[in-house]
DNA sequence: CTGTTAGCGCATTCAT
DNA sequence: ATGAATGCGCTAACAG
């Protein structure tokens, strides 16, 4: 069923049918409009997105570049982005960059060739400013959650400063005044900002900064090593849930009891964090709000001015020492 | 840069350029071919996928329908599918069905309207046979991991019988001859098959069948309740990691020690299972192989005959009672 | 307010 | 082996 079929059936021209289907760009007499709508319904007409794309240079498809969909944090974000996009009648192309700058560029390249209307990039640290490359090709792009060092494109992230302060304040209420901070090896962007907030908050104390890869394995290994050396801090804030879960595994293996001998709070708040043993106290990232903001930025070309970041909310469970 | 530009630059016709770009369907003189290739390179020509799609009725885009990307099992599968598709130069559209048959149909509808070349459906139990609907519209579709009751379309899944037998045999080596089985409320397709395999294996004993939703919360609640009633079996095989993690959380809350008082093996084997406390012994699903098989089925229209299912491999960790 | 028409970039058939 | 010409389905400029 094509436009032409509908036009014939409604006794109208293809132009008019097009105007009706798109609510514009020109007015149509209400009566004609009804006839067209009726014909379209009877014929079960579905506009051909491909033809429309060829003609109008917009595809209704957005590209979502992800570091790794198997990581539940990225997966959750992906789900929210897809939903937010769906509500705006956009389709979502997905691509995994796998923590490699090369692969990320490659994915972006492919998306650009597919004529995506915009790019949402949820990526690991480092690499070139792919958003800038996309914008150079006329395709708007936003970073979500993180961005490469050099980027000037908009980033959508939670209010990380507040999240860190909330976590630290809560630990203080448990009597820990010098919580350590576990971050990645090369933290820049929002994650670096978390570390920075922590540094500001603990300045003057001898709280310790810990670093390891953003993986469960690395965090587990670190925890076991430090515990063996009797050098594990009594309270730790981790930059990511993956690391927190690794710390939990390492503590378990080393016979270190959480929360009795180690109080732990993580800053991601993925669904995973609720079912660890013990359950993790976290500051939950407002993923849905972030996804919506990103979509708004891309589609409405919303003000790129410093909108206040969405707040992360402290979810108290057991790893901090609360009995909940 | 369009075909026409390249043709002009190479002093050839658009037809010839097209033949060169697609290696057919007609032969081109080697010399002309070189000239065209050179011109294309100099002009940095990139074929317009949209125009090609309009003309050829194939888009190079596949639709991936997922129950929930934030679930790491589905997320991992998504990553492998995207990779396998990428290797065949296909793009991946993603859509979340959110365990709702309505939403699933809606997603499929949208994908069909976008002219996807094929559909990969990784979905929850129940609902109508969307693959059949797609095939009726001329779009090939495969189910992966699970399928609705009524479906006749091909399913790609692991060898679930073998997985169950491996799990049971391992538990038997720990002295448990009557392991219980925890499955979903309406298990059909491959998951139902797992239960069926278990039923066959424990026939004649009074091993117990447990059911709850495929969520951590439901499994945790069930475990706490059974433990309180002193009715928790000493050895359990769970159909999914989500449920196993929930059992772990419930056991922890109820003061039940794993593996001492409860031996546990799960049948999914997501990355998550490696960093629980204690680490889960699982039969790991061959996700990569499943993704590749699905892609092959869709693209090569491979034999839909009963190919042997890929094997799931037992990964021994601690929840079964091993000291690893 | 509505009808006619010209392409968007490409694959392909018909000529040569 | 190659060129010219047609049309995929749609949007929008142009002409009533």
To probe the interface with A, which of B79, B248, B262 has the most A CB atoms within 10 Å?
Answer: B79
**A145-154, A262-271, A274-283, B113-122: the lowest-pLDDT one:** A145-154
pLDDT digits (tens, 9 = 90+) for B98-111: 888 899 999 998 99
For residue B306, what pLDDT is reported? 59
H or E segment at B49? helix B49-56
Weakest-pLDDT range from A205-219, B37-51, B241-255, B291-305: B291-305
> For chain A, how far is it from start to end, CA to CA, in angstroms?
60
Q: Let me know: does B97 contact B153? Beta carbons within 8 Å.
A: no
Rg (C-alpha) for chain B, rounded Å, is 25
With 80 as the cut, is the pLDDT of residue A24 above it?
no
Residue B161 near residue B309, CB atoms below 8 Å: no
Residue B65: what pLDDT? Answer: 96
User: Which residues lie closer than 8 Å to B200 by C-beta, 6 or more apart?
Assistant: none
DSSP lists the bridge partners of residue B65 as B95, B121
Torsion angle of C-alpha atoms B38, B44, B50, B55, degrees rounded to 10: -20
- Which of chain A's residues have a Cβ under 8 Å away from the Cβ of B83? 96
**Choice between A185 and B322, residue whose per-residue pLDDT is larger:** B322
| Helix, strand, coil percent content, chain A, rounded in steps of 5 | 45, 15, 40
Q: Is B126 or A276 the better-scoring residue by pLDDT?
A: A276
What pLDDT shows up at residue B251? 94
CB contact under 8 A, A113 and B49: yes
Separation in Å, CA of A205 to nearest CA in chain B: 32
Average pLDDT, stretch A59-71? Answer: 93
Q: Which of B252, B272, B277 sits opposite A272 (nearest CB)?
A: B272
> What average pLDDT does the structure give for chain A?
90
**pLDDT for res A302:** 64
Question: What percentage of chain A has pLDDT greater than the value 90?
Answer: 63
Is the distance between the Cβ of A177 and the closest atom of strand D smaller than 7 Å? no
pLDDT band at A282 (very low <50, low <70, confident <90, very high): very high
| Residue B234 banded pLDDT, cuts 50, 70, 90 | very high
Q: Which residue is nearest to nucleotide D8 (CA to C1')?
A: B55
The pLDDT of residue B301 is above 80 = no
Residue B84 pLDDT > 90: yes
State residue B24's pLDDT score: 72
Above 80 in pLDDT, residue A213? yes
Q: Which of A115-129, A216-230, B76-90 has the lowest mean pLDDT?
A: A115-129
Sign of the dihedral defined by the CA atoms of residues A24, A30, A33, A34, in that order: positive
Interface of A with B in 65-124 (CB under 8 A): 68-72, 74-76, 78-79, 82-83, 86, 91-96, 110-111, 113-115
Who contacts A299 (Cβ-Cβ below 8 Å, separation ≥6)? A88, A90, A118
Report how many helices (DSSP H) and strands (DSSP E) chain B contains, helices first: 12, 11
State residue B295's pLDDT score. 94
Confidence band (pLDDT; 50, 70, 90) for A186?
Answer: confident
pLDDT of residue A17: 94
Using one digit for the tens of pLDDT, what is the confidence trace for A140-182? Answer: 999 998 888 777 777 888 888 899 999 999 999 999 999 999 9
Burial class (CB in 10 A: 0-12, 13-18, 19+), A253: middle
Q: Which residues touch strand C (CB under 7 A)?
A: A 11-16, 19, 26-29, 31-33, 51, 54-55; B 2-4, 14-15, 18-19, 21-22, 25-26, 47-48, 51-52, 54-56
Cβ of A71 within 8 Å of Cβ of B75? The answer is yes
Question: What pLDDT score does A303 carry?
Answer: 62
Which one-letter DSSP state was computed for residue A273?
A: G
The reply to whether the CB atom of residue A97 sits less than 7 A from any atom in nucleic acid chain D is no
Percent of chain B with pLDDT over 90: 62
B207 near B181, Cβ under 8 Å? yes
> Does residue B90 surpass a pLDDT of 70?
yes
What is the rounded radius of gyration, in angstroms, for the C-alpha atoms of chain A?
25
C-alpha–C-alpha distance, residues B150 and B141, integer Å = 15
The dihedral built from the CA positions of residue B271, B273, B276 and B280, taken in this order, carries a sign that is: negative
Length A17 CA → C12 C1' (Å): 30
Q: In this predicted structure, what is the pLDDT of residue A6?
A: 93
Q: Left if phi > 0, otherwise alpha if psi is -120 to 50, otherwise beta: which for A19?
A: alpha
Q: What is the pLDDT of residue A324?
A: 59
Tell me which chain B residues have a C-beta less than 8 angstroms from the C-beta of A51: 54
pLDDT tier at B303, thresholds 50, 70, 90: low
- How many CB atoms neighbour CB B264 within 10 A? 28
Determine the nucleotide nearest to B48 by Cα–C1' distance. Answer: C9
Average pLDDT over residues A117-140: 87
Cβ of A29 near strand D (distance < 7 A): no
Mean pLDDT value of segment B67-73: 88
pLDDT at site B122? 92
pLDDT value at residue B191 = 77
CA-nearest of B96, B34, B86 to A109 is B86
Helix (H, G, I), strand (E, B) or coil at B76: helix
Could you give the strand order of the β-sheet that contains A118-122, starting from the edge strand earlier in sequence?
Answer: A155-156, A141-144, A118-122, A61-66, A91-96, B91-96, B61-66, B118-122, B141-144, B155-156
For A80-89, write each residue's pLDDT tens digit. 999 999 999 9
A23 Cβ neighbours under 8 A, 6+ residues apart: none
User: What pLDDT, on a 0 to 100 scale, did the predictor assign at position B305?
Assistant: 60
State the pLDDT confidence band at B269, using cuts at 50, 70 and 90: confident
Which of A61, A70, A249 lies at the smallest CB-CB distance from B75? A70
Q: Say if the Cβ atoms of B93 and A91 lie within 8 Å.
A: yes
* CA atoms of B322 and B281, how far apart (whole Å): 9
Would strands B313-315 and A118-122 be described as parallel, antiparallel, or unpaired? unpaired
pLDDT at B225: 97
Could you check: is the Cβ of residue B206 within 7 Å of any atom of nucleic acid strand D? Answer: no
Q: What are the CA-CA distances from residue B277 to residues A2, A144, A249, A262 (Å)?
A: 59, 31, 6, 15
Residue B95 near residue B107, CB atoms below 8 Å: yes
Tokens of A300: 């409405």
As a whole number, mean pLDDT of residues B226-245 equals 95
pLDDT band for position B324 (cuts 50, 70, 90): low
What confidence tier does B236 reach under pLDDT thresholds 50, 70, 90?
very high
| Alpha-carbon span B246 to B221, nearest angstrom | 8
Nearest CB neighbour to B83, from listed A50, A96, A277: A96
Write down the pLDDT at residue A276. 86
Contacts of B252 in chain A (CB under 8 A): 277-278
Please give the biggest Cα pair distance in chain A: 85
3-state helix, strand, coil in chain B (%, to 5): 45, 15, 40
- Rounded Cα distance between B73 and A273, Å, is 16
Q: What's the pLDDT score for residue B125?
A: 66
Per-residue pLDDT tens digits for B248-263: 999 988 999 989 999 9
> In the structure, what pLDDT confidence band is assigned to residue B204 with cuts at 50, 70 and 90?
confident
Q: Is B181 helix (H, G, I), strand (E, B) or coil?
A: strand
**pLDDT (0 to 100) of residue A306:** 59
CB-based contact, A257 to chain B, within 8 Å? no
Indicate yes or no: CB of A94 within 8 angstroms of CB of B94: yes
* CB–CB contact A94 B82 (8 Å): yes
pLDDT at B149: 75
Compute the average pLDDT of residues A273-299.
91
A61·B110 Cβ contact <8 A = no
Domains defined for chain A, CATH in brackets: 3-47 (1.10.260.40), 58-156 (3.40.50.2300), 160-285 (3.40.50.2300)
Ramachandran class of A145: left when φ > 0, alpha when ψ lies in -120 to 50, beta otherwise: left
- Chain B segment 268-287 residues within 8 A of A by beta carbon are 270-272, 274-279
């Amino acid at each position: 069923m094509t436009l032409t079929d509908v036009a014939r059936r409604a006794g109208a021209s293809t132009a008019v049918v097009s105007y009706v289907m798109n609510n514009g760009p020109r007015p149509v007499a209400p009566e004609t409009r009804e006839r067209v709508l009726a014909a379209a319904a009877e014929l079960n007409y579905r506009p051909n997105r491909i033809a429309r794309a060829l003609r109008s240079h917009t595809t209704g498809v957005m590209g979502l570049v992800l570091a790794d969909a198997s990581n539940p944090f990225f997966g959750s974000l992906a789900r929210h982005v897809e939903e937010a996009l769906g509500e705006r009648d956009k389709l979502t192309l997905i691509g995994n960059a796998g923590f490699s700058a090369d692969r990320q560029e490659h994915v972006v390249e492919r998306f650009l060739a597919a004529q995506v209307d915009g790019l949402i990039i949820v990526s690991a640290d480092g690499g070139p400013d792919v958003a800038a490359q996309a914008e150079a090709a006329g395709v708007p792009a936003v970073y979500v959650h993180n961005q490469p060092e050099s980027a000037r494109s908009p980033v959508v992230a939670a209010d990380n400063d507040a999240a860190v302060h909330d976590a630290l304040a809560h630990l203080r209420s448990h009597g820990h005044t010098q919580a350590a901070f576990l971050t990645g090896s090369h933290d820049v962007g929002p994650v670096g900002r978390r570390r920075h907030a922590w540094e500001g908050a603990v300045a003057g104390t001898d709280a310790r900064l810990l670093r390891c890869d953003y993986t469960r394995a690395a965090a587990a290994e670190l925890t076991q090593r430090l515990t063996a050396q009797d050098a594990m801090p009594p309270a730790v804030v981790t930059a990511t849930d993956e690391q927190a879960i690794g710390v939990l595994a390492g503590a378990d293996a080393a016979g270190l009891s959480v929360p009795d001998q180690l109080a732990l709070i993580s800053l991601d708040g993925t669904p995973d964090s609720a079912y660890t043993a013990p359950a993790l106290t976290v500051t939950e990232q407002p993923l849905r709000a972030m996804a919506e903001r990103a979509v708004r930025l891309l589609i409405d070309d919303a003000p790129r001015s410093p909108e206040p970041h969405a707040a992360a909310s402290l979810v108290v469970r057991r790893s901090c020492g609360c009995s909940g």
